[in-house]
């Protein structure tokens, strides 16, 4: 069942028509054609209407849409029927065939090519070289056979003048491994008419040889002017309508044919022989005969030499075969000279026979190359087959000849098989499923088949009898024989049997009432075309050729003149036997059908001629096929497939059912929809009686699908959002883990580097900090602030005594307060402050005791609390005179003393009178004490040991302490500066 297209394109399957009638059938066919839908189903039959234009529906993307799909899953297409045949062959290991039928110009050849291309496209997924080679040869064989067996006619640009059946062999994996081609009835018509179709290829040869090397032209003795050859012109001029298009369109085609022959495996000698035979046929057409008295002569004897060269034989033998006929009467051999008319007849018969033998040889040569070789079923598995039959169609002309009679008989034979197989398939399916079968009346054309092929009574038998009669037998005698034996047959008549029928000519015409309609045939030429009219002399001539390829085409030429042989089978008998064999071959395969329809005779892509198409529908039996298919039930499908398509309609089956079987689930679904009365339930399939039920199911399905799609969109969008969230969350977790990893790695590295800093001499001051990750940059600044600045300093000072700690703090405060104003502050040594006591004991023990007594006396007198600073100095007066002195600074006074007089105080200045302190930045330790009365004291600090030690820092710190008491310093400065007072 095809996928249900929109009703604007009509019904995709004719089985779904509301009323099975010719009017509805044609209306649906016309609608689909006008909408560009050239394919329609009748169950498993494809009806194809020639679109007369290129359509983009055969590309690789279309192949993928139909690959592995069931028929009903996609819109109707050739690919669907090809895939169904391939699946049946591969899955069920069963031979199948695709029968393509229709009249000339309906698109049968193109359909067969598309089917071959599809099979080639879906096979060999592993790209095995040997399989690719076989596929390529099978496709190229079409090109070669078309070139030699098809022709451009007024009715068709690529008309097949022969019937072709190709078997494609597949291995157990479903890959093509070879094939075989059978051809039927290559059309041989009168040589003196332009409709000698196969010679169009010869004209193509002459056109293409214009670009060939001169050596090749000379070897074939062909001129570049096609008008020089009688066989491809009429009345002295080229038939423009049929020939001229070859100049443009078919140049590329010829190149592809030459390439195809090489790809298939034709050798260079074989291709050269083909050219020679074609050239010889062209030259034969130019042979003319004359009469000299009673003697018949060849007028253009130069052509005899050309034919001798092309046919690789002797010149005298060629001339003798053309002018004489050898007749054996008992033991005597007589050479009978031809009349001019007989010579012309023999020449044309030879040309036709040479082309026919060439075509048959090409088919045989292709078969030799592509047939399966060395295939052992026990090793390689069963060899399965898909057959493709492209056969000429039933046609009615003004003057229907012997060939058309054979063609129409072939179509009757195939139509009989078609109806029988379709009817048989339907009956078998109903029986298999246990559904009662309703008898269908149909036209059984077996009576027409018997009329043609029945032993002793059929038309072929009468024709053969007439050909075997001794004496002069004419076509009129043959017609009399038909009238005598078939006078009472319901489907045969002639003018003698129907004297009042003026559509028939006396002694010429007879009429057969075919399945597709009445056809009048002219008996003119029946006898000659049925007999083997080629003289034995020509057969011996070509058999004796030194060209082995040409020799092999004429094996019967080896018989001697006097050798008695059986009368050869007639053309009618050969064709009848081939048709019987073909039908037997098709009957043992599972058939699939493509029925091709020609919409008009003017090759228009827009015109649809109702009456013409109606006639084709009738003779193809399409309406009868619909009736057979609709025998009780319009639609049937397996339970799983039916549920897969419609299960969303019922709550009992969506999304999955819990019933005992799919059959019960389908029953429940149909009951829920109210269609149980219109359905029957087989063993594996459900049968629906009317199309309306199916359309109602489709409408409900379409409505539910829309809701399901919205639901799925909602669920999927939520799923996508959750997936996106999970991805973001995962990324965040990964990022966090990575950051933790980087932080931990950094801290581990810091721990590794600074693990033993306590035992290092500089406590790790030389250790370089690792580069931190971005997140730890602030952490690094904190760490650098803690270590080495704080931890390292704390480590250095933690072992100091309280007095040393205070001194360190004082030094730090001094360094911070002076902010680099002095280079030497005495920071590298211990600060003693009261140098006249501590240093005096070592430098001058005598004076140290004196200073101690004096300072104690001053303390009692002035009530100061602590000595802040004392030191020997050099005093500079205003006259620039220097004298040794000493200074003592307490928390109340500044004393100037004379060290030479046991440190006798010389001057006492209260500290509140000291307004400031100035020191020099150099190493001279010059100090100026500024006072309110402007009597500044200028001294240079000095010590006994070492001579250059600096005491400025201690002095400044002392004064800082003094000024803090006078609110001259900030609290912060005092905290770090005062070490003599325990301000902390």
Decide: 934 and 914 in contact? Cβ < 8 Å: no
User: Residue 235, annotated ligand binder?
Assistant: no
Spatial distance between the Cα atoms of 522 and 529, rounded to a whole number of angstroms: 13
Instruction: Write the burial class of residue 233 (CB in 10 Å: 0-12 exposed, 13-18 middle, 19+ buried).
Output: middle
Residue 46 DSSP SS3: strand
Decide: 49 and 33 in contact? Cβ < 8 Å: yes
Find the DSSP H helices in 800-916.
802-818, 835-838, 840-843, 845-862
Residue 400 DSSP SS3: strand
**Angle, CA of 422, 518 and 195, to the nearest 5°:** 100
- Residue 273 is encoded by which pair of tokens? 């022989």
- Residue 451 is encoded by which pair of tokens? 């009329």
Residue among 380, 129, 587, 86 at smallest CA distance from 372: 380
Decide: 262 and 255 in contact? Cβ < 8 Å: no
Spatial distance between the Cα atoms of 721 and 728, rounded to a whole number of angstroms: 10
User: Residue 838, annotated ligand binder?
Assistant: no
Close Cβ partners of 687 (under 8 Å, ≥ 6 residues apart): 433, 435, 632, 633, 635, 636, 679, 680, 681
Residue 894 DSSP SS3: strand
Spatial distance between the Cα atoms of 400 and 524, rounded to a whole number of angstroms: 10
- Residue 140 is encoded by which pair of tokens? 């190229």
178: phi then psi, degrees, rounded to nearest 5 = 165, -170
Residue among 159, 150, 32 at smallest CA distance from 599: 32
User: Residue 105, annotated ligand binder?
Assistant: yes
User: Residue 59, annotated ligand binder?
Assistant: no
657: alpha, beta or left? (left if phi > 0; alpha if psi -120 to 50): beta
User: Residue 632, annotated ligand binder?
Assistant: no
User: Residue 108, annotated ligand binder?
Assistant: yes
Residue 892 DSSP SS3: coil
Spatial distance between the Cα atoms of 490 and 283, rounded to a whole number of angstroms: 49
**How many Cα atoms within 13 Å fall on the side-chain side of residue 372?**
19
User: DSSP for 710-754?
Assistant: HHHHHHHHHHHHHHHHHHHHHHHHHHHHHHHHHHHHHHHHHHHHT
User: DSSP for 456-496?
Assistant: TTSHHHHHHHHHHSSS---HHHHHHHHHHHSTT-TTEEETT
CA dihedral for 340, 341, 342, 344, sign (positive or negative): positive
User: Residue 27, annotated ligand binder?
Assistant: no
CA dihedral for 208, 210, 213, 218, sign (positive or negative): positive
- Strands 590-597 and 45-49, bridge-based pairing: parallel
Spatial distance between the Cα atoms of 833 and 855, rounded to a whole number of angstroms: 14
User: Residue 106, annotated ligand binder?
Assistant: yes
Spatial distance between the Cα atoms of 799 and 805, rounded to a whole number of angstroms: 9
- Alpha carbon dihedral 670, 672, 674, 680, in 10-degree steps, equals 20
Spatial distance between the Cα atoms of 616 and 120, rounded to a whole number of angstroms: 31
Which residues are known binding-site members? 102-109
Which residues are known binding-site members for ATP? 102-109
């Amino acid at each position: 069942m095809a996928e249900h297209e929109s009703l604007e394109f009509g019904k995709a399957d004719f089985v779904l028509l509301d009323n099975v009638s010719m009017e509805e059938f044609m209306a649906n066919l016309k609608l689909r054609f006008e909408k560009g839908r050239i394919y329609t189903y009748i169950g498993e039959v494809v009806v194809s209407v020639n679109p007369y234009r290129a359509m983009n529906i055969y590309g690789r993307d279309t192949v993928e849409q139909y690959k592995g799909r069931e028929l009903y899953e996609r819109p109707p297409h050739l690919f669907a029927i090809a895939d169904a045949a391939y699946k049946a062959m591969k899955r069920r290991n069963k031979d199948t065939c695709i029968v393509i039928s229709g009249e000339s110009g309906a698109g049968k050849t193109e359909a067969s090519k598309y089917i071959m291309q599809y099979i080639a496209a879906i096979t060999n997924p592993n790209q095995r070289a040997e399989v690719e080679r076989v596929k390529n040869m099978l496709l190229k064989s079409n090109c070669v056979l078309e070139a030699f067996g098809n022709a451009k006619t007024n009715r068709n640009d690529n008309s097949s003048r022969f019937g072709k059946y190709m078997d494609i062999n597949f291995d157990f994996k479903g890959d093509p491994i070879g094939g075989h081609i059978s051809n039927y009835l290559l059309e041989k018509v009168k040589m003196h008419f332009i409709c000698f179709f196969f010679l169009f290829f010869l004209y193509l040869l002459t056109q293409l040889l214009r670009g060939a090397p001169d050596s090749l032209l000379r070897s074939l003795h062909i001129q570049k002017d096609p008008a020089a050859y009688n066989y491809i012109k009429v009345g002295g001029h080229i038939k423009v309508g049929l020939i001229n298009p070859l100049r443009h369109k078919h140049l590329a085609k010829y190149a592809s044919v030459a390439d195809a022959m090489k790809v298939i495996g034709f050798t260079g000698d074989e291709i050269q022989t083909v050219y020679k035979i074609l050239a010889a046929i062209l030259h034969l057409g130019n042979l003319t005969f004359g009469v000299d008295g009673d003697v018949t002569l060849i007028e253009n004897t130069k052509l005899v030499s050309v034919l001798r060269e092309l046919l690789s034989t002797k010149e005298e033998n060629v001339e003798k075969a053309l002018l004489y006929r050898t007749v054996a009467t008992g033991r005597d051999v007589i050479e009978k000279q031809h009349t001019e008319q007989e010579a012309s007849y023999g020449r044309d018969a030879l040309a036709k026979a040479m082309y026919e033998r060439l075509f048959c040889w090409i088919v045989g040569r292709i078969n030799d190359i592509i047939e399966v070789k060395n295939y052992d079923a026990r090793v390689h598995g069963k060899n399965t087959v898909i057959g493709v039959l492209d056969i000429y169609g039933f046609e009615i002309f003004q003057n229907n000849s012997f060939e058309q009679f054979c063609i129409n008989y072939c179509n009757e034979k195939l139509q009989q098989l078609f109806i029988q197989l379709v009817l048989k398939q339907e009956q078998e399916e109903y029986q298999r499923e246990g559904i009662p079968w309703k008898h269908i009346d149909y036209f059984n054309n077996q009576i027409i088949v018997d009329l043609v092929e029945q032993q002793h009574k059929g038309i072929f038998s009468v024709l053969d009898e007439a050909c075997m009669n001794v004496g002069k037998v004419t076509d009129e005698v043959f017609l009399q024989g038909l009238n005598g034996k078939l006078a009472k047959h319901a489907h045969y008549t002639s003018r003698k049997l129907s004297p009042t029928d003026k559509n028939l000519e006396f002694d010429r015409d007879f009429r057969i009432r075919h399945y597709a309609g009445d056809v009048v045939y002219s008996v003119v030429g029946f006898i000659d075309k049925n007999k083997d009219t080629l003289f034995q002399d020509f057969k011996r001539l070509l058999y004796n050729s030194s060209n082995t390829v040409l020799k092999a085409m004429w094996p019967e030429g080896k018989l001697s003149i006097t050798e008695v042989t059986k009368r050869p089978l007639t053309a009618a008998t050969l064709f009848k036997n081939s048709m019987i064999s073909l039908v037997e071959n098709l009957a043992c395969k599972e058939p699939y059908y493509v029925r091709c329809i020609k919409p008009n005779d003017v090759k228009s892509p827009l015109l649809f001629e109702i009456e013409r198409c109606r006639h084709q529908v009738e003779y193809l039996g399409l309406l009868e096929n619909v009736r057979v298919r609709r025998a009780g039930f319009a639609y049937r499908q397996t339970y799983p497939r039916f549920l897969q398509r419609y299960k969303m309609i019922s709550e009992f089956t969506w999304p999955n059912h819990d019933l005992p079987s799919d059959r019960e689930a389908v029953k429940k679904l149909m009951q829920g929809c109210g269609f149980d009365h219109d359905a029957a339930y087989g063993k594996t399939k459900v049968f629906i009686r009317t199309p309306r039920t199916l359309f109602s199911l489709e409408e409900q399905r379409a409505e539910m699908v829309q809701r399901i799609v919205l639901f799925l969109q909602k669920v999927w969008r939520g799923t996508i959002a959750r997936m996106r969230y999970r991805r973001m969350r995962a990324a965040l977790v990964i990022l966090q883990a990575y950051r933790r990893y980087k932080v931990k790695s950094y801290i581990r590295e810091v721990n590794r580097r600074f693990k033993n800093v306590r035992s290092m001499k500089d406590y790790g001051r030389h250790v370089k900090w690792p580069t931190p990750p971005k997140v730890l940059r602030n952490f690094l600044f904190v760490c650098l602030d803690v270590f080495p600045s704080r931890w390292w300093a704390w480590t250095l000072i933690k072992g100091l005594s309280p007095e040393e700690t205070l001194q360190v703090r004082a030094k730090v405060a001094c360094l911070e307060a002076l902010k680099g104003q002095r280079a030497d502050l005495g920071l590298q040594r211990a600060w003693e402050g009261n140098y006249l006591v501590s240093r005096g004991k070592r430098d001058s023990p005598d004076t140290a005791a004196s200073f101690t007594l004096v300072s104690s006396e001053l303390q009692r007198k002035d009530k100061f609390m602590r000595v802040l600073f004392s030191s020997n100095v050099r005093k500079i007066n205003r006259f620039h005179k220097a004298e040794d002195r000493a200074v003592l600074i307490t928390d109340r006074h500044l004393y100037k003393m004379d060290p030479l007089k046991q440190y006798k105080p010389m001057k006492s200045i209260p500290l509140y009178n000291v307004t400031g302190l100035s020191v020099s930045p150099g190493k001279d330790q010059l100090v100026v004490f500024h006072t309110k009365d402007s009597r500044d004291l200028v001294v240079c600090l000095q010590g006994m040991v070492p001579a250059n030690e600096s005491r400025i820092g201690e002095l400044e710190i002392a004064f800082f302490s003094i000024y803090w008491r006078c609110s001259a310093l900030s609290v912060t400065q005092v905290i770090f500066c005062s070490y003599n007072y325990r301000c902390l």
